Chains A and B, each alone.
Chain A
Amino acid sequence: MRIGHVPSEAEIGARRARNRALGLALFGLVALFYVTTMAKLGLHLPGM
């Protein structure tokens, strides 16, 4: 027997979309700070 709230399909879908967006945002954050650091230090980015 399951106790507690059973998420609906809509809730699961929305949560999945939010998780993906959050993952992308975190990846973007890491990339942004890396790029900013390289640029501020006057270093060249690989391939640029």
Chain B
Amino acid sequence: MTDIGLEARVRLSTATPGDYFQLLKPRVMSLVVFTALVGIVIAPHAPHALIDAISLLAIALGAGASGALNQWWDADIDAVMSRTRNRPIPAGRIGADEALAFGLTLSVFAVTLLGLAANWFAAFLLAFTIAYYVVVYSMWLKRRTVENIVIGGAAGALPPVVGWAAATGSLSFEPLVLFAIIFLWTPPHFWALALLKSDDYARAGVPMLPVVLGPDVTRRRILLYALVVAPVGLAPWALGFAGPVFGIVAAVGGVAFVGFALAVHLKREGVPARRAAGRMFGFSILWLAALFATLAAERLFS
């Protein structure tokens, strides 16, 4: 028996803690934390700073776990997309099996922590959110259907619902309205990005709308969604759980949302088209952040 050849295969990982942090998709995680925080803030409960903070941490870790598992599953397509090829797995800094173990461990930890700190209903919702993102969106929808982000968007829309459930132990129509806002916001947001990165998606074989049905259909759908999401953004004010400041922000923001979508629809060629899509993508983030921040601020300072 010899160890010749064994030495050549053995190599210790050079992954740093920073690489593992990158596996968590910190930018996505920050949006999840923000929307979940709003869910907690507007929930009718006796605030307990420590428990609420631990709940938020658990939701953040759950989101990070989803990101790690998503990167484990999508490592092959991440490797061929310019936007994602420097992620830790395709870049060779972390092994796929390490990412899988990391994601699963973190999922169990996050769900357990939320169950112990808040309640097991919220923990169930967090587990459902992780499973939905990884299994339903990443494994099932993303590579199979052009409606991948339409249906898969539910995962990104659930954090305020989980936050509300963590605070109250139950559900109500308010978090479901927040769910609806994010759910309807997701397609135009990602389609604007897909218009800019359609070559990347085509190379990776991901059936995003511009790749399958073309940019003009995508532009029309962005406008249609904008016409729906703008009035839905007003729902918290119309239903009485947001105040007049929110109503103004949502009304002005809604008009601007439709305006940016209209620009995407009208500018179809060259640099102006790319610029319009880029502005739509950027503004959609600002719109969602402004709505949720106003909702929380009104509740905190009223």
Contact = CB atoms under 8 A, between A and B. Distances in A.
Contacts, number: 55
A14 interface: yes
Contact of A11 (B12, B17, B109): B12
Interface in B1-51: 3, 6-7, 10-17, 20, 48, 50-51
B116 A36 contact: yes
B113 interface: yes
Nearest to A15: B12
A7 to B, nearest CB: 5
A28 B14 CA distance: 24
A18 B94 CA distance: 12
Contact of A18 (B7, B11, B16): B16
Contact of A4 (B10, B16, B54, B116): B10
Nearest to B18: A17
Nearest to B50: A39
B17 A17 contact: yes
A19 B109 CA distance: 19
A6 to B, nearest CB: 9
B51 A40 contact: yes
B50 A21 contact: no
A11 B14 contact: yes
A40 B20 contact: no
Which applies to chain A's interface (DSSP): helix, strand, loop or mixed? helix
A39 B47 CA distance: 12
Contact of B54 (A3, A20, A35): A35
Contacts of B7: 4-5
Interface in A1-38: 3-5, 7-8, 10-12, 14-15, 17-18, 20-21, 29, 32-33, 35-36
Contacts of A15: 12-13
Interface residues of B, number: 21
A40 B57 CA distance: 16
Interface residues of A, number: 21
B117 interface: yes
Contact of B16 (A3, A12, A17): A17
Nearest to B93: A14
Contacts of B16: 14, 17-18
B226 to A, nearest CB: 42
B54 A5 contact: no
A34 B57 CA distance: 15
Contacts of B11: 5, 11
A7 B12 contact: yes
B263 to A, nearest CB: 45
Interface of A: 3-5, 7-8, 10-12, 14-15, 17-18, 20-21, 29, 32-33, 35-36, 39-40
14 contacts: A3-B3, A5-B10, A5-B11, A7-B12, A11-B14, A15-B13, A29-B109, A32-B113, A33-B116, A35-B50, A36-B54, A36-B116, A39-B48, A40-B51
Given A12-B12, A14-B12, A36-B117, 17 more contacts: A4-B10, A5-B11, A5-B12, A7-B12, A8-B12, A10-B14, A17-B17, A18-B13, A18-B15, A18-B17, A18-B20, A32-B54, A32-B113, A36-B51, A39-B48, A39-B54, A40-B51
